[in-house]
Amino acid sequence: MAVAGNGEPAGGSLFTRILASGLPDDETHVVWRGVRNFAILNAFPYTCGHVLVMPYREVGELEDLTPDESAELWAAVRDAVVAIKAAYAPHGVNVGLNLGEAAGAGIPSHMHIHVLPRWNADSNFMTAVAEVRVLPEALGDTWRKLRAAWPAPGGE
C-alpha cells in the first residue's frame, strides 16, 4: 500500500476512503450526514455509543475549518450528545478532540471529535493494561440506536 508523506495511506485518510467507498451507511456505520460534516461510529470504541464527528473535508487543524464547517460541526457535536443521552442514558458524556500526532490524534490529517457515553465506575483495567475493549453490543446495534435517537434537523 502506498503511503503519503504524513504516514497515512495514499488516497486520503481512512475517513475519506470510507466516504468515497460508496457503501451504504449501515455498512460504514455513518450515523448522520450533514451538508459539511458527518458522524460515524468509532470502529474501535472505548464504550458502546462512541461517535466521531468531523468535516467531510480532510482537514487536520481546528483553525482551518471554514466558519460554515465549524458552525455545523459544533451543532453536530451537540446532536451527538443528545442522541447518546437518549439512546444510552449515561451518567455523563466525554467530548474530546486530539489535534496532531503528539496530542494523540490517530488520524492527524482528518480532525474528528470524539463523543462517548460514560457511566460511574465504567473504567476497567482491560483497556489500560491489555489494550482490550469489552463491549456488550455489536456496532450495527449501536448504529441503529444512535441513528434512531439523532435529533431531526432543526429539532430539539
Catalytic residues: 112
Torsion of CA 107, 17, 57, 140, to 10 degrees: -80
Q: What nine digits make up the cell of 148?
A: 434512531
Q: At residue 140, what is the residue type?
A: G
Edge-first strand order for the sheet with 51-55 is: 30-33, 37-41, 51-55, 113-118, 92-97
Residues ≥6 apart with Cβ < 8 Å to 87: 49, 145, 146, 148, 149
User: How are beta strands 37-41 and 51-55 bridged, if at all?
Assistant: antiparallel
